[in-house]
Amino acid sequence: MVPSRGRRAMLERVDRVQLVVRDRAAAAAAFAALLGARPVREAGAAYLGARRTVLALGESEVELCEPTGPGPAREHLDRWGEGLLAAGFAVGDLTDLHARLAEEGAEFAEDDGQTYLEPAVTAGMRCVLSAGRAPAPAGARLYEVTNTLVSDWRAAADLYTRLFDLHPSRFAPIRSERFGYVGTLTLFDPPRRLDRIELSQVVAPESAMGRWVGRRGDSLYMGYLESDDVAGIVARCAARGARFTARGGRPGPRA
């Protein structure tokens, strides 16, 4: 199916990430201390085999998933340890999304009002899709997730275009000699918002990203958070001994 012209893509914004953790309470305390995130609810996740603590982080949410039995959360924790489990996106109409996924022959699962796509269905990145909601008027926000690739970024871009009714005319090519990748930013709704999936195909196997894909292959690599309190975040990270890396002449935390 080709993207529908003259309307927005199905994905409205990057609205959350799911992380697998061993101890939800300890992880929530760290997010509160470093980023000012606040708990808003506890929830089960039968599909993941986990219990979740959901944190509000500005207009975005962070779901801390502690395994309670067999499932993707336990599998990830046992194989890779704590870290990013899924990239999350807000969708205007989940019914329309399900119809499109079915037409594309893409398998999906539903749990607690969310729709899951496994890495085998995407370009190696587990996705969780939630109904769109009015964002908070101010504060931090997630705006990008990076899908790092061994495979061809063009094929990944075509796949996401078909799955989510994206518009390739809005994409922005990227290349980094410093970090050793080439690819594109799959912008959802520019210039109104700049949310996107970054598709980064490794061209320098010796780079940090190259070592990552050497172990994990096509996968979710990292997320980007915009904040008007970068200096404060850096100070809190330094005070707690949390790792961060300065980028581009400006200090900025890196998870």
Q: What is the mean pLDDT of each run of 10 residues along the chain (255 residues)?
A: 58 98 98 96 98 96 98 98 99 96 98 98 99 80 98 99 97 96 98 97 97 98 95 93 74 42
**Could you tell me if residue 18 is inside a domain?**
yes
- Strands 50-57 and 60-67, by their bridges, are antiparallel
Does residue 71 fall inside a structural domain? yes
Domain assignment of residue 44, yes or no: yes
3: in domain: no
CB 41 within 8 A of CB 54: yes
- pLDDT tens for 75-109 read 999 999 999 999 999 999 999 999 999 999 999 99
The answer to whether 243 and 255 are in contact (CB under 8 A) is no
Count structural domains, the chain.
1
Residue 38 lies in a domain: yes
Give the pLDDT score at 149: 99
Could you tell me if residue 245 is inside a domain? no
Query: Nearest Cα to 13, choosing from 151, 172, 141?
Result: 141
On the 0-12 / 13-18 / 19+ scale of CB atoms within 10 A, 61 is: buried
- CATH number at 80 reads 3.10.180.10
At residue 255, the pLDDT reads 38
Q: What share of the chain has pLDDT > 70, as a percent?
A: 92
Residue 216 backbone phi and psi in degrees, to 5: -110, -15
In a domain, 249, yes or no: no
Whether 206 is covered by a domain: the verdict is: yes
Is residue 175 classed as helix, strand or coil in its secondary structure?
Answer: strand
Q: Which residues pair with 64 in a beta bridge?
A: 19, 53
Q: SS3 for 23?
A: coil
For residues 56 and 136, give the distance between their C-alpha atoms in angstroms, rounded to a whole number. 10
Residue 253 confidence (pLDDT): 42
Nearest partner of 21 among 86, 74, 79, judged by Cα = 74
- The predicted structure's pLDDT at residue 252: 43
The residue segments making up the domain with residue 133 are: 11-240
